[in-house]
Amino acid sequence: MGEADPPVPPVVLASASPRRSEILRMLGLPASVRPTRVEEARLPHETATAYVERLAREKALGGAHGDPEALVLGGDTVVVLDGDILEKPADTGEAESMLLRLSGREHDVRTGMALSMGGRTWSLVCRATVRFRDATAADIRQYAATGEPLDKAGGYGIQGYGSSLVAEVQGDYYAVVGFSVVGLVWLLEQAGYSLAFPGLERLVTHRRAP
**pLDDT tens column, 137-190:** 999 999 999 999 998 999 999 999 999 999 999 999 999 999 999 999 999 989
pLDDT over 70 (residue 4) = no
139 belongs to the catalytic site = no
**pLDDT tens column, 80-129:** 999 999 999 999 999 999 999 999 999 999 999 999 998 899 999 999 99
> Could you count the other beta carbons within 10 Å of the beta carbon of residue 198?
10
pLDDT over 70 (residue 209) = no
Q: In this structure, which amino acid lies at residue 206? A: H
Q: In this structure, which amino acid lies at residue 13? A: L
Q: In this structure, which amino acid lies at residue 99? A: L
The b/e string for 110-120 (b: 16+ C-beta within 10 A; e otherwise) is: bbbbbbbbeee
* Catalytic pick among 5, 67, 76, 82: 76
Rounded mean pLDDT, 35-54:
91
Please tell me the pTM assigned to this model.
0.88
CB 77 within 8 A of CB 178: yes
CB 37 within 8 A of CB 96: no
Helix (H) or strand (E) holding 174: helix 173-177
Query: Integer distance in angstroms from the first to the last C-alpha of the chain?
Result: 17
Say how far apart CA 192 and CA 194 lie, in whole Å.
7
Q: Going along the chain, which residue ranges are E strands?
A: 11-13, 32-33, 71-81, 84-86, 106-117, 120-132, 166-171, 193-196, 204-207
Sequence-distant (6+) residues with CB within 8 A of 90 are: none
Q: What is the pLDDT of residue 1?
A: 41
Say how far apart CA 63 and CA 54 lie, in whole Å.
14
CB 191 within 8 A of CB 71: yes
Can you give the residue ranges of every domain in the chain? 11-207
pLDDT over 60 (residue 131) = yes
Pairing mode, if any, of strands 71-81 and 84-86?
A: antiparallel
Percentage of the chain with pLDDT > 70? 89
Q: What is the pLDDT of residue 66?
A: 74
Fold of 11-207: Maf protein (3.90.950)
